[in-house]
Amino acid sequence: MIVYSKSSGFNNAQIGKLETPIKMVIEHESDVQTKKGGIRDWLFNVEKSKKFGETIIGQNEFDVFAAAEEGAGAENDDMQETYKKFIEHIQFMKEFTITAQMMEDANYGIAADAKRRAENFTRAYYKTMNKICEYALINGTNKSGIFAKANLDLTAPDDLPLFANGHKWGGKKSHGTQSNYFYGDIFSSGATDSRKASTEAFEAALGELANKIRNMKDENGEILGYTADTIILPGNRPLAETIAKKVCGSDGALGNGYNDINIQYGNWTIVVMPDWQTTTDRVMIMSSEANKNLCGNMFFNRVPLTIRNWEDNHTGNYMWNGRCRFGVGFGTYKHILLAVDSASEVTGATQL
């Protein structure tokens, strides 16, 4: 969504010739970008907000019903707050200028440079939202990061990085730890016959990693039981991408002659994040249902792109200013995990 506002009336006829066409270019370009979607829409829950920030509160669940004798009262149960996660909205701004000379030379519609600037201006808005979501996931082994001069909180509600091997669960009644960060034989990158070994290794690892997601515990220590259905891959590991597509897109098991079925076939959506550039093969596994139900990857849209335009009195230049506010963060860690293909120990990760 884009909100367009004009800060003042214009008497300059030349400015009037530019204003409406540029507005149309910006709004048309935004429609195209909105339809295309991106990392934000694929991997994050997008919510509107009317507050300074949003707080996600976790609670334990009621235990199972207990048997009671005839005439006896019910056993009293209660819910307890187990964690809080506050996501603050950040203001982002950008501005561009159409010079007085450019306006004077735009006798037949918009000058070519002005049109390109208007299109790039809107693309930059959607690129900012997608890239900040990418950045948050890519840097999920850290507690914080800086994106476009903004300080981001990348922690889960237990104040650990999104991906960590000692995540906390529980409340007053019971508590413990669990991991969503692993290392092991994921792609068999170092194998002699890497192309054959990798498909077999990844198929086996995918089953283990999906099991880790399914066995994540809630705040009572109960198994959540969510099914992993999304594979997220780096943008610079073509062999890993090929392996994942083969394993998930083949109806028969790969690497043997027994005509076994491929239990991974048709169960996964593969997302490649272009900005995730790694020196080792690695993969993220996510449950889209857990992501939604547990408020996992969160994007709060506080103020959509609001555009104002005016003539600068000092230079005669035509100014366009865009402003927006949104917040990005993680309401839980139980919806996603990260696995690194490594035979040796990876700091902060649990061996698969």
Give me the mean pLDDT over the 219-230 stretch. 92
From 51-60, 146-155, 221-230, the region with the lowest mean pLDDT: 51-60
What ranges in 75-193 are assigned the alpha helix state H?
A: 100-105, 112-138
Condensed to tens digits (0 to 9), the pLDDT of residues 10-51 reads: 445 555 666 777 777 777 777 776 666 789 999 999 999 988
Q: Which residue has the tokens 């990392």?
A: 39
In this prediction, residue 177 carries a pLDDT of: 94
Condensed to tens digits (0 to 9), the pLDDT of residues 76-119 reads: 665 566 677 889 999 999 888 877 776 666 544 445 566 777 77
From 21-30, 168-177, 253-262, 288-297, the region with the lowest mean pLDDT: 253-262
**pTM score, two decimals?**
0.84
Residue burial 109-140, b: 16+ Cβ < 10 Å; e: rest: ebbeebbebbbebbeebbebbbbbbbbbbbbb
231: pLDDT strictly greater than 80: yes
Confidence grade of residue 183 (pLDDT, cut at 50, 70, 90): very high
Question: What are the residue ranges spanned by the domains of the chain?
Answer: 2-59+84-351
Is-contact 182 209, C-beta < 8 A?
Answer: yes
Top-level class of domain 2-59+84-351: alpha beta
Please report, as a single letter, which amino acid is at residue 220: N
In this prediction, residue 130 carries a pLDDT of: 93
* Separation between Cα atoms, residue 210 and residue 227, nearest integer Å: 7
Do the bridges between strand 144-147 and strand 150-153 make them parallel or antiparallel, or are there none, so unpaired? antiparallel
Distance of CA 105 to CAs 17, 110, 111, 113, Å? 12, 9, 7, 11
Q: With H, G, I as helix, E, B as strand and everything else as coil, classify residue 131.
A: helix
Residue 288 neighbours by CB under 8 Å, 6+ apart: 229, 230, 269
